[in-house]
Amino acid sequence: MTELTVTTDRREQMIDVTSQVRQAVVESGVGSGLAFCYVPHTTAGITINENADPDVQRDILYKLNKDIPQRDDYHHAEGNSDAHIKASLMGSSVQVLIENSGLVLGRWQGIYFCEFDGPRRRRLIVKAFPLG
């Protein structure tokens, strides 16, 4: 298991962590299997999406903010209910196949850490499992 630190510098952002996950897989020594990526936070998440055009991440954050505004008729006292909702929608984990010690991702895919209540220092846990 590898624990990565992700440092965010804005309240909301999507950070490409593909290279860090790839490195963790290489260091694990697993040649064929599954990489499990887990975010142990309630106001951050993780997703796989396009990494060729940064406007995709901008558009995702735009739509989330439009549909789930920071200020609304929320009851949670900390003032970050929107972040909890957004993190729940993104999810706290993704899985990626490993083949020949590399991540099996589509041509345009990347792994994104999704911050919704930053800036903060966050954790991303990567565990590579051999299969077969």
Going by C-alpha positions, the residue among 132, 49, 33 that lies closest to residue 90 is 49
Q: Is 124 exposed, middle or buried (0-12, 13-18, 19+ CB in 10 A)?
A: buried
Single pTM value for the model: 0.96
3 state DSSP class of 30:
coil
Q: Is 79 exposed, middle or buried (0-12, 13-18, 19+ CB in 10 A)?
A: exposed
Q: Which two tokens stand for residue 65?
A: 């903010």
* 78-99 per-position pLDDT tens digit: 999 999 999 999 999 999 999 9
* 2-130 under CATH 3.30.300.30, yes or no: no
Give the residues across from 47 on adjacent strands: 112
Would you kindly state where each structural domain of the chain is located, as residue ranges?
2-130
* 42-78 per-position pLDDT tens digit: 999 999 999 999 999 999 999 999 999 999 999 998 9
